[in-house]
Amino acid sequence: MERKLIRTADGSPTLRVPEWNEQYHSTHGAVQEAYHVFIRAGLQAMPTGPLRILEMGFGTGLNALITLLEAKEDYTPIHYTALEAFPLGPELWPTLDYGKYLGHTEAPGLYKRLHETPWESFEPITPGFQLRKLQMDFLSFRETDMADLVYFDAFGARVQPELWTEPVFQAMYQALSPGGKLVTYAAKGSVRRAMQAAGFSVERLPGPPGKREMLRASK
């Protein structure tokens, strides 16, 4: 899969997949979108205390990085599981200067550790944050009661419609603990109906820059 570095409207980088005419993040602002969807509507909507997060689409590692930076002691310890079918190689992820862009002195080193840590098992990034990266297709994921919060950040339904269906959201429902939440940038009616058919209670929230709405689902 060919991927090209581009800059988004807030100055932060993302990757574009030319064959799909699709980006990893919103062209209206990669960092703005990540904070709006996954931190403000997701992480900050959870009770404080230990937290288990499942990310569907590790991608550039941006969501994991900002979660690590923003969680601090309020949500520790965090066990963060991320699925990715097409991991970025060492020729790509260092070109994404999120560490410098976010303005945290420790961010560049943490971003490097997120990408260089081994796959398939939980590895400590900091004393309060453990990361498990799994290279696998979303469609084969089956775990039960292993997350309190899901970041659903798959490529859009236009290019990968099979990832936005009732069976996938049923798997997400099973993966969540009672009271758990799923957040995503998507707002299509077909996605909302698939979530509801899987058992979720779904609410529409104001979207990030460039989108009118986003979805948050609760078990």
Residue 217 has pLDDT above 90, yes or no: yes
Lowest mean pLDDT among 98-107, 108-117, 136-145, 151-160: 98-107
Q: What is the pLDDT of residue 73?
A: 78
Pure H helices in 40-83? 62-71
Q: What is the pLDDT of residue 99?
A: 79
Q: What is the pLDDT of residue 69?
A: 94
Pure H helices in 59-204? 62-71, 98-101, 107-116, 166-175, 189-197
Residue 103 has pLDDT above 90, yes or no: no
Q: Interhelix angle for 166-175 vs 189-197, to 10°?
A: 50
Q: What is the pLDDT of residue 72?
A: 79
The sheet carrying 78-84 orders its strands as 123-126, 129-135, 78-84, 51-56, 147-152, 176-184, 213-218, 201-206
Q: What is the pLDDT of residue 30?
A: 94
Q: What is the pLDDT of residue 104?
A: 86
| Averaged pLDDT for residues 108-124 | 96
Residue 85 has pLDDT above 90, yes or no: yes
41-78 tens-digit pLDDT: 999 999 999 999 999 999 999 999 999 999 877 888 99
| Averaged pLDDT for residues 148-168 | 95
Burial 17-36 (b: 16+ CB within 10 A, else e): beeeeebbbbbebbbbbbbb
Domain ranges of the chain: 31-218
Beta strands in 57-153 (DSSP E): 78-84, 123-126, 129-135, 147-152
Residue 117 banded pLDDT, cuts 50, 70, 90: very high
Q: What is the pLDDT of residue 101?
A: 82
Any idea which architecture 31-218 has in CATH? Answer: 3-Layer(aba) Sandwich (3.40)
Instruction: Give the torsion sign (CA, 151, 153, 154, 158).
Output: positive
- CA-wise closest residue to 53 among 34, 67, 70, 40: 67
| Averaged pLDDT for residues 203-215 | 96
- CA-wise closest residue to 216 among 122, 165, 151, 155: 151
| Averaged pLDDT for residues 195-214 | 96
Residue 214 banded pLDDT, cuts 50, 70, 90: very high
Which phi-psi region, left, alpha or beta, contains residue 170 (left: φ > 0; alpha: ψ -120 to 50)? Answer: alpha
Q: What is the pLDDT of residue 61?
A: 96
